[in-house]
Structure 1
Amino acid sequence: MQNIRVTLVIQNCPVNRFAHNFAQTVKQVSAAALQNCDFVVFPEMNLTGYAPANLSNAVALDSVWINKLNRLAQKHNIAILTGLVEKAAAGKIYATHLVIRPDQPVARYRKIHLSPFEAPYFSCGDDADVFKFKGVYFGIQLCYDAHFPELSTAMALKRADIIFFPHASPRGTPGEKSASWKRHLTARAFDNAVFVAAVNQVGENNAGLDFPGISMMIGPDGFLAGENIAYENKIKTHVLDMSLLEHIRTHKMRYFLPNRRGNLIDE
């Protein structure tokens, strides 16, 4: 399998400034394209900012700005993964991440596990879908989702090669966030033999929250493959050697998923 280039975008995402955030997103997509990336991945809710109690911050999916992102994906032959607070039908509000690829309908992942701070305001998603681009199968989880190992396993069983973890996590310093991610995200990668990529917002968001800027790439062997600490908007492109997946998955003592006894897990 060919190498895949993934650009992780640490982005400042002020609340109630959709036009500003969208313009920054377009700018960063173009910058990532200059690095010949295949995927450009933004933090959770990068378009709207993160303020769960501020329901006026939610936006409906609009063909005008979505079409602009579609044209960018088509122009650069890349997949764009970008997030927002989605105002859906019947007044439901979701934490949503969009998947925008050339010549394919816009897909989305709606956050399945809501934190105690989010549950009073958002609805839960129900679909742990896996998507495909350039021969790579990938899943998306949002922030709090990362703490539920069975969700990563469900995606791995659907053939995910990469799981992306966009975050809007305001707690701690970049060093503390790094230590936290290394505790649990390395396990998600190692147990399921998948690449794991995580990226957070950065800086103050005009709603009383301050985010530690960090992104991280972890290999399917569970080892750290790259990390980026930032105090402003910043991108980092990682080159993934996809042959490492085959190396791990053909090793009898390093690929655990085929020997999983799923019947022991209560529904």
Structure 2
Amino acid sequence: MRVALIPMRVKVGDFDTNWAEFERRFDEALAHNPDFVVFPEYCLTGFEEWDFSGAELYDETVERVSSLARKNGVYVVFGLLEPYKNCVYNSALLIGRNGEVFLKHRKFQEPCKFCTGNTVRTAWTEFGKVAVIICGDLYNKRILKWVRRKRPAYLFVPMEYSPDYGQPNEEDIEAMAERVKLLGVRAFIVNSYPPGGAWVFDADGTLLASSEGDKTLLWEGQP
């Protein structure tokens, strides 16, 4: 099982620039023959409070990413803004190898102007059962209960985390490790750049691999 975690540079409100960067980083990752290519939270629009205009691009975004997944036969995980009736979800999708939407997660841990999710879903792949959550969901008590109940083998976590002091420090990484240990699932976490970073934790919270800045993290291991 090969996973490419891509801490992509995201420019808020500039879909065309972000799409060009998405395609460039995606093509670079393909050289390593990945099974999963994982991008950060709302990576094609960014988000600035309280501008939800990026949600208008939901259908086009899904169509474009699905086409890339289908053409190259890979799974793609990425975050985006999803319109729903009179509000917006901060969502993440797992697109299957044939371009279908395999799994959708709607973020729990959001301020009141967002719609918020209420469940964690899983999907079966040839590598086992997987789930997706988003950024602050990692620290949410309800998410903890859902993940422990569903027992996925792998958890993908698109993130947009920009601490005031710059790159995530040792305490931040230790906090992630402690949450992963509580969840009891191998976790693949990728942050948008800046500050970027990507991490793979084993189910016991052990840090297996990491990268800094916008460097792609390539991970290969047994399912």
TM-score (norm 2): 0.89
Give 2:189's aligned amino acid. A
Gaps of 5+ in 2: none
Residues 52-111 of structure 1, C-alpha deviation per residue, up to 9 Å, x if partnerless? 31123332422x4433322321232211011112223x2211111121112363132110
Report the aligned-residue RMSD. Answer: 2.0
2:37 alignment partner, SS class:
strand
Larger Rg: 1
Q: 1:99 aligns with which of 79, 83, 94?
A: 94
> d(CA) in 2 for partners of 1:143 and 1:228?
17
What count of residue pairs does the alignment treat as equivalent?
221
Residue matched to 1:81: 77
Q: 1:123 aligns with which of 99, 115, 123?
A: 115
Distance 1:65 1:189, change over 3 A: closer
Distance 1:104 1:134, change over 3 A: farther
2:151 alignment partner, SS class:
coil
Q: 1:237 aligns with which of 210, 218, 221?
A: 218
Contact 2:93 2:104 in 1 (8 A): yes
Residues 213-261 of structure 1, C-alpha deviation per residue, up to 9 Å, x if partnerless? 211111123211011111xx4311111232xxxxxxxxxxxxxxxxxxx
Contact 2:105 2:132 in 1 (8 A): yes
Contact 2:6 2:37 in 1 (8 A): yes
Distance 1:182 1:149, change over 3 A: farther
Distance 1:91 1:161, change over 3 A: same
> d(CA) in 1 for partners of 2:51 and 2:198?
26
Give 2:215's aligned amino acid. K
Residue matched to 1:168: 160
Contact 2:15 2:45 in 1 (8 A): yes
Residue matched to 2:201: 218
Distance 1:152 1:164, change over 3 A: farther
